[in-house]
Structure 1
């Protein structure tokens, strides 16, 4: 069966450019009509039961795939996009068919993770997967069939409450294959859609780097540039002076990407609600009038901008600065006149998150999110409008949108209102939190026990354990799952973890990640518990795995480095801390750890850079031990681990010490270290004189302390010796005036030291020999100064 019976119309990327006349077969025309009745569903289910064990013919493959897609889209409609129609009738049909072998709570489970209790008509998704898998056995190289396989993985993961490693491994294989064959798609817009859907799928599994790489490949292939520029503008009604504001500019040269007016022109997409604020403007007003015109983007580029902003949000730290960087992307999407409904819905929901922590916009955020929930239940939009570009638009199940609304309600103090919604969507973890906040924790246990009596699940057993602090509930959940639930072990281990009983927690946490390796929080807890028990190898394993899943948490990189140092692997610790700095450039603790490990591994340039950064982050930062070791190694000519030249290292060290001398001019050791790096005798002598002054200023009674006094005398001797040497060896830039001035400075410093030590010389016979040398140097200096003065 080498001929592929599938074509681009099977993708069902509903848009207004495609007419009924374009569709090649009756099955595809029926699919695109979206007239899906219960009678038709009966026919599809009967056909599947009759032919599920029969090898499909070339002619039957088209019909089979269309029916699988119809079941998938019917499932998506009733769980993701709305409108939620004929649920009861369809449920009755499925019950009458007695699809026991297609129980979604068993067949859609992965790595022991159950599907969300809000999932409706799960049997349709199971049958669709079975149909696609049957077809893939015969047409393994069918691109559009494999594309639908990836979409089914995406949908299945969305209805599971936790990420699962099995689905991710399956996704990786199919995504790689699709990207290798993307050029076999003969439509440029569909090529772009394939890139987007692969990137979005990676992002669903928190693989931000892979997602970014796919988006970059897409932009390069299509000649697209997303550029954020700073343009002068004002944000408030009373702002007099314009300030730089961020604005997104999208450049693209591919004329084969159809305009949004052509693909989604008749869809009246929802608008951003008016802010109605007495201070802030509805939109940034740029000084140049042309900059206030929002670029009109094709639908597929709107999906690209959405994908990019989602990728950036996932890959950046959660702070106000990062939010401001995302704003131009979101606003560009929100002010488009035409475009896909799902892109606008996703952009509005994302904007709700961005505005929810700002006093002036939090109310709009709540109302907008409420509107998004109502849109799902409403009948304003047709099903083709809801499904247009849907798989490139970060579809979310209805209950996830409701959860977002509840978070906003909670932030506004509407706990009871949020509780009602949580109860409706069976978000039991959040129900416990609400009752705890309302000081009614016992009510949470009662409700969960009632639900357990109706239909026991692993999650309910675990949450009952959380509510009443009883580890026996986790054991019950484990037995109920027949030893397959990673969630049961995760809750069990977390119970002991919170009690700081790490030895008891570790076996359960290890078992949990053995079942499902994509549990970020559990890897973190396992790593922390291992560190507390000084099980360094386990800690390294846990944190390495976590950083592969979530590479942006600087604390995990930091803890990984600590464990590696404890194991004696400082070279790897240095690389790990370098990654940590990419996640949090402004954390002084990470920089300090990086600096110390850099010194230990002889990465001298990194040590200097780290010290310089610490000086910026911490006012008056000073670590003399690190400076002494680093400068000492550079002066000795020690090779840098990365092969940097001595000239480069010395130059960086001189710059750093110049900064330290300015900041810590009263610290004598700083001047001594700076003197070590000085090239000419004159330069060294100047710094040593300052060191003598710093020593004598720092300790007022220095002459009465023998070791301290001896140190001052010795430094003064070096300054005098180098000052005299400068008269014979100096550069062209070092003038006679400069040399004479330095001779005089050294002479005065020697006089001050001798004067201060004269009163206690009989007490410290150890210093007498050094003082004799210093007196001789003073006499020589005095004579030399007179000689040079007379010569002038």
Structure 2
């Protein structure tokens, strides 16, 4: 890699260690001062207008990069971090300029997806991208230019409501290049920040596994261990007995990371609101005093803990257990005395989500989120404080924070208050939902028509179609986009999908994902529609793509397995269902499908494990067909698909059948299957006698039914034969008393069978032959018992 023409200060990781007077150039000092005016913006526009067609030298390139960064940060301030006090001034200034070529609603569109209507000063982001693209042409190997390129991708994706395939492909290329050149950064903290920003970018595109790999590389490089331990403590004011509570312990051996007090010591970061509950403690109180002291983490490690929470949340099923595992990470962040404002803001918002579904904390969640929205435009924090470590702290656009507040308001029943905010931020889909909830659906259509008169967009045409159930609106949106909008096709296909008109829905859904392949919901609907029409190959394609984007939906894995089974690919179906179980360990339907496919593919151990889990999930669960096939295969010595030994399989099967015999003692087939696995004749005979008893009690008039009676007689014959065999061959622990007792049990069972059949008038030849054999066995049993009794 060639020499880096730019320096670390161009990254603008604002902290209190770097002083303005230490910066090497006037352009950098201007940039770090964050004193931006319309006069300054005019000079940037003039400079770019006169230099965009010429090859820049190093001095000009330094100035151009500072300009691109300044434009980006000005855009971030007015859309993400706040404050917004200069927004009107800059908006009015841009309106006076002829910047049609920088129209953000055209230039920032990707895969047919428009940017959010709340985006302000979008021309600045377009201009920043253009300047950076020029610099990257002349210095393609510059690590800092690539780093800013990744940041611009992150920002652009954040202002587009749907994930886009084009931006993800760009991100992958730049992220791979950056990871190869981490060593070229001398500053250890910046190395860590690069890993964090790459991981965060992958998480933005829902790539939790890739993010996990990047964060793991960071931890290995810096010797960081994030360990959640269980420590004794109490959670409520009246709790007498301490119970294990989760606590995060962060170990790091690298002393090159500056302390949070040095980087962000002057920032008065917002605190977690008091719970003010009469039962629950403000925070867990651990028994050991030292465990109540929160570890002081450097700013970059706080960003790492936040990234780990986001990664875990994205990669785990959404349930209460997973939320409890995330709690120690979040609380560690919230109790830090010093740290970056953006990391604290993100942690507070994440905590709002976690607490919103708990009765005792939902009110605090709402008030905290309301405070987070107010903070964006509050006067307390300076712009450098807001931008410090911002790209490592999960920047969110202002309207996304407001949307989170609206969701909390709706959960508390404050629909009208939420509606007012939705109208303010032009969240038209949510406006329709609120009006529907208020039984004023016609109002939604009126408002959308009014907005269409002001400005025509694809989204508004689509939402009008949703509001009035008119597919012609989607056709209009499609034509308006000049056949480029995946959203128009998605709404069109969804219209038919909801009416269960799958033949009409599929072409539109296919076209939509062809334009933008990162639409999770559309892939899911396409797969479901394909299954309904038994188009199995299309279903497999749709669900495989969906599981790559969103690997946590157990239903998608389940449906994928179903489609694979229909195509005859049961081996792949088995692997797919195994993945499905990771997403939802407690769903009995998935376990049942997994068990059946395991039996079909001869994964005998998996079949036994699945049956065990089903027995735990469903009371009195019994599937005799699966038991017969699985136990039969083990007894016959069939090889397991995964190469498990017969000894291991037999032990598992014996344990399973022992449990089944306890649960289903009145089911004769269960005893017969248990007998097949028994090692000694004595043990087998015991189980077969119980099978005979179960047969005769299950069907009171059994002797009058020829096939059933014959089955009872035959099982009784086997029991008698094995009982006699046990007198010659038995295990050392099987005493003479035990064997004699078993002979008596078999004799009594045979007598009972013969008595019952003797009362039946009708004689069947097959039964008579079997009865003759049984009578002979009874005589032998009686003689043997007498002989053994006399001998003793």
TM-score, normalized by the shorter chain, greater than 0.5: yes
Alignment of 1:637-786 (within 5 A): 637-760=637-760, 762-786=762-786
Deviation at 1:354, TM superposition (A): 1.2
Offset of residue 2 of structure 1: 3.9
Structure 1 match to 2:262: 262
The equivalent of 2:84 in structure 1 is 84
1:176-215 alignment, distance < 5 Å: 176-215=176-215
Aligned residue number for residue 175 of structure 2? 175
1:421: Cα distance to partner?
1.0
Whole-angstrom distance in 2 between the partners of 1:261 and 1:528: 53
Secondary structure, counterpart of 1:482 in structure 2 = coil
Tell me by how many angstroms 1:133 deviates. 1.1
Q: Where does residue 421 of structure 2 map in the other structure? A: 421
Q: Bigger shift: 83-92 or 508-517?
A: 83-92
Alignment partner, residue 568 of structure 1:
568
Once the two structures are TM-superposed, the CA of residue 526 in structure 1 deviates from its matched residue by 0.6
- Contact 1:227–1:250 under 8 Å retained in 2: yes
**Does the aligned pair in 2 maintain the 1:478–1:488 contact within 8 Å?**
yes
Quick check: 1:423–1:431 contact (8 Å CA) kept in 2?
Answer: yes
- Whole-Å Cα distance in 2 between the matches of residues 527 and 157 of structure 1? 26
Residue 36 of structure 1: aligned partner: 36
Instruction: List aligned pairs for 1:218-617, cutoff 5 A.
Output: 218-617=218-617
Pick which of 474-483 and 11-20 moved more.
11-20
Whole-angstrom distance in 2 between the partners of 1:217 and 1:790: 80
Deviations 1:679-705 (A, max 9, x none): 221111111111111111111211111
The alpha-carbon deviation at position 734 of structure 1 amounts to 2.0
| Correspondence for 2:216 | 216
CA distance in 1, matches of 2:771, 2:423: 87
Shift of 1:408: 1.2
Tell me the distance in 2 between the aligned counterparts of 1:89 and 1:616: 65
1:446-476: CA deviation from partner (whole Å, max 9, x where unpaired): 1111110111000000011111111111000
Q: Could you tell me how far apart the structure 2 residues matched to 1:752 and 1:309 are?
A: 68
What is the CA–CA distance in structure 2 between the aligned matches of 1:3 and 1:553, rounded to whole Å?
47
Rounded Cα–Cα distance in structure 2 between residues aligned with 1:88 and 1:382? 19
Q: Per the alignment, in what secondary structure is the counterpart of residue 245 of structure 2?
A: strand
**How far off its partner does 1:95 sit?**
2.8
CA offsets per residue over residues 221-245 of structure 1, 9 Å max, x none? 2111111111121222122222221
Q: Structure 2 length normalisation: TM-score? A: 0.99
1:166 aligned partner: 166
Q: Give the CA deviation at 1:424.
A: 0.9
Q: Which runs of 4+ in 1 moved over 4 A?
A: none
- For residues 200-233 of structure 1, the C-alpha deviation after alignment (integer angstroms, 9 at most, x for no partner) is 1010001111111211221122111111111121
Shift of 1:97: 2.9
Tell me the equivalent position of 1:46: 46
Q: Give the distance between the partners of 2:500 and 2:10, measured in 1 at CA.
A: 55
**Corresponding position of 2:103:** 103
Q: Verify the 8 A CA contact 1:5 1:59 in the aligned structure 2.
A: no
Query: Do 1:761 and 1:768's aligned partners in 2 also have CA atoms closer than 8 Å?
Result: no
In the TM superposition, residue 355 of structure 1 has moved relative to its aligned partner by: 1.3
CA contact (8 A) 1:761 1:767 kept: no
Shift of 1:141: 1.2
- Partners of 1:107 and 1:530 lie apart in 2 by 35
Larger deviation, residues 294-303 vs 351-360: 351-360
After TM superposition, the score normalised by the length of structure 1 is 0.99
What CA distance in whole angstroms lies between the structure 2 residues aligned with 1:701 and 1:110? 75
Unaligned runs of at least 5 residues, structure 1 = none
SS at the partner of 1:245?
Answer: strand
> In the TM superposition, what are the counterparts of 1:3-14 in structure 2 within 5 Å?
3-14=3-14
Cα distance, 1:94 vs structure 2:
2.3
Q: CA deviation at 1:708?
A: 0.9
Measured against aligned partners, the alpha-carbon deviations of 1:587-629 in whole angstroms (never above 9, x if no partner) come to: 0000000111111111111111111111111111000000001
The Cα of 1:26 is off from its aligned counterpart by 2.1
Encode CA deviations 1:310-334: one digit per residue, 9 max, x unaligned: 1111222222222111111111111
Aligned to 2:115: 115
In structure 1, C-alpha distance between the alignment counterparts of 2:385 and 2:221, rounded to whole Å: 28
Q: Secondary structure at the match of 1:97?
A: coil
Q: What is the alpha-carbon distance in structure 2 between the residues aligned to residue 724 and residue 72 of structure 1?
A: 91
**722-731 or 667-676: which moved more?**
722-731
Measure how far apart 1:751 and its partner are.
1.3
In structure 1, distance between residues paired with 2:735 and 2:183 = 72
Secondary structure of the corresponding residue to residue 247 of structure 2: strand
Q: How many residues align?
A: 792
In structure 2, distance between residues paired with 1:3 and 1:191: 18
- What is the alpha-carbon distance in structure 2 between the residues aligned to residue 67 and residue 231 of structure 1? 52
Superposed CA offset, 1:348-407 (max 9, x none):
111111111222211111111111111111111011100000000010000111111111
Which residue does the alignment assign to 1:790? 790
Q: Distance in 2 between matches of 1:136 and 1:221?
A: 29
Please, what is the CA RMSD of the aligned residues? Answer: 1.2
3-state SS of 2:653 partner: helix
SS at the partner of 2:732? coil
3-state SS, counterpart of residue 283 of structure 1: strand
Moved more, 311-320 or 553-562: 311-320
Alpha-carbon distance between aligned partners in 2 of 1:420 and 1:443, rounded to the nearest angstrom: 13
For 2:706 and 2:81, the matched residues in 1 are separated by 84
Name the stretch that deviates more: 261-270 or 6-15: 6-15
Q: CA deviation at 1:762?
A: 4.9
Alpha-carbon distance, 1:563 to partner? 0.8
CA distance in 2, matches of 1:600, 1:414: 53
Deviations 1:650-705 (A, max 9, x none): 12111111111111111110111111111221111111111111111111211111
Q: What are structure 2's unaligned runs of at least 5 residues?
A: none
Query: Which stretch of structure 1 is more off in the superposition, 698-707 or 255-264?
Result: 698-707
Give, in whole Å, the separation in 1 of the partners of 2:2 and 2:497: 56
| Partners of 1:195 and 1:215 within 8 A in 2 | yes
Mapped partners of 1:288, 1:638: distance in 2: 56
Counterpart CA distance in 2 for 1:776 and 1:763 is 19
